[in-house]
Chain A
Amino acid sequence: MFQYIFKRLLLMIPTLIGAAILIFFVLRLIPGDVCELRLAGSGLYADPEQIKLCRDNLGLNDPILVQFWDFIFGFLTFDMGESMWTGRAITYEIGLRFQLSLQVAVMATLVAIFIAIPLGTISAVKQNTWIDYFVRAFSIAGIAMPSFWLGIIIILGLLISTQAMFGEPWMPPIQYVSPFEDLWANLSQLIWPAVATGYRYSAVATRMTRSALLEVLREDYIRTARAKGLVEKLIINRHALKNSLLPVVTVIGIEFAFLMGGLVVTEQVFNLNGLGKLFVESVLNQDFTLTQALVMVVVTVFVFTNFLVDICYAWLDPRIRYA
Chain B
Amino acid sequence: MAVTTEAELEELATKASWYDKLKVFMRQQPLGAIGGGIVLLMVLMALFADFLAPYDPELNAFEFMLVAPSWEFILGTDQFGRDLLSRIVYGARTALFVGFTSAFIGSFIGLVLGVGSAYFGGKIDLIFQRVMDIFMAFPLIIMALAVVAIFGTGIQNVIIAITIPFIPRCARVVRSTALSIREIPYIDAARALGYSHIRIILRHMVPNVMAPFLIMITAFVGQAILLEASLSYLGLGVQEPTPAWGLMLQGGAEEYAESAPWVAVWPGVAISLAVFGFNLFGDAIRDVLDPRLRSQ
- A295 contacts B150, CB within 8 Å? no
- Choose one: B138, B222, B254, B296; the contact of A299 (CB below 8 Å): B138
Residue B101 at the chain A interface, CB threshold 8 Å: no
- B279 contacts A140, CB within 8 Å? yes
| Residue on B nearest A265 in the bound complex, by CB | B230
- A268 contacts B234, CB within 8 Å? yes
Tell me which residues across on chain A come within 8 A of B149, comparing CB atoms.
27, 30, 282-283, 286, 291
Give residues 206-221 of A contacting B (CB, 8 Å).
Answer: 211, 214-215
Tell me which residues across on chain B come within 8 A of A29, comparing CB atoms.
150
Tell me which residues across on chain B come within 8 A of A19, comparing CB atoms.
134, 137-138
Q: In the complex the two chains form, what is the Cα distance from A160 to B257 in whole Å?
A: 10
Name which of A39-47, A147-155, A178-186, A311-319 contacts chain B. Answer: A147-155
- Choose one: A133, A136, A153, A260; the contact of B264 (CB below 8 Å): A153
Tell me whether A264 and B234 are in contact in the complex, defined as CB-CB below 8 angstroms, given that A149-B272, A152-B254 are known contacts.
yes
- A155 contacts B279, CB within 8 Å? no
- A298 contacts B142, CB within 8 Å? yes
Give residues 95-143 of A contacting B (CB, 8 Å).
Answer: 128, 133, 136-137, 140-141, 143
Residue A192 at the chain B interface, CB threshold 8 Å: no
Residue A53 at the chain B interface, CB threshold 8 Å: no
- B138 contacts A143, CB within 8 Å? no
Residue B295 at the chain A interface, CB threshold 8 Å: yes
| Residue on A nearest B277 in the bound complex, by CB | A144
| Residue on B nearest A260 in the bound complex, by CB | B139
Nearest Cβ distance between residue A290 and chain B, in whole angstroms? 10
Tell me which residues across on chain B come within 8 A of A152, comparing CB atoms.
249, 253-254, 257, 264, 268
Nearest Cβ distance between residue A243 and chain B, in whole angstroms? 15
- B145 contacts A145, CB within 8 Å? no
- A265 contacts B234, CB within 8 Å? yes
- A18 contacts B130, CB within 8 Å? yes
Tell me whether A261 and B140 are in contact in the complex, defined as CB-CB below 8 angstroms, given that A146-B268, A149-B272, A280-B234 are known contacts.
yes
Majority DSSP secondary structure for residues of A touching B? helix
Give residues 124-160 of B contacting A (CB, 8 Å).
Answer: 130-131, 133-135, 137-142, 145-146, 148-150
Give how many B residues have a beta carbon under 8 Å from the other chain's beta carbons.
48
- B137 contacts A144, CB within 8 Å? no
- A144 contacts B279, CB within 8 Å? yes
- Choose one: B1, B133, B258; the contact of A15 (CB below 8 Å): B133
| Residue on B nearest A169 in the bound complex, by CB | B258
Digit string of A1-43 for contact with B (CB within 8 Å is 1, else 0)? 0000000000000111011001100110110000000000000
| Residue on A nearest B235 in the bound complex, by CB | A284
Q: In the complex the two chains form, what is the Cα distance from A215 to B254 in whole Å?
A: 44
Give how many A residues have a beta carbon under 8 Å from the other chain's beta carbons.
54
- B257 contacts A155, CB within 8 Å? yes
Residue A159 at the chain B interface, CB threshold 8 Å: yes
Residue A309 at the chain B interface, CB threshold 8 Å: no
| Residue on B nearest A270 in the bound complex, by CB | B254
Tell me which residues across on chain A come within 8 A of B274, comparing CB atoms.
144
Residue B206 at the chain A interface, CB threshold 8 Å: no
Tell me which residues across on chain A come within 8 A of B226, comparing CB atoms.
144, 146
Tell me which residues across on chain A come within 8 A of B253, comparing CB atoms.
152
**Cross-chain pairs A/B with CB under 8 angstroms, 21 sampled:** A14-B130, A15-B134, A18-B134, A26-B150, A133-B31, A140-B280, A144-B274, A145-B268, A146-B226, A146-B230, A146-B246, A153-B268, A156-B257, A260-B142, A261-B139, A279-B145, A283-B148, A284-B235, A298-B139, A298-B142, A302-B138
Closest 4 pairs between A and B when the two form their complex, measured CB to CB: A149-B268, A18-B134, A261-B141, A144-B276
A169-B258, A298-B138 given; name 6 further pairs at CB < 8 Å. Answer: A22-B135, A137-B31, A144-B222, A144-B271, A264-B141, A286-B149
Interfacial residues, chain B to chain A (CB-CB below 8 A):
1, 31, 130-131, 133-135, 137-142, 145-146, 148-150, 222, 226, 229-230, 233-236, 246, 249, 253-254, 257-258, 261, 264-265, 267-268, 271-276, 279-280, 283, 295-296
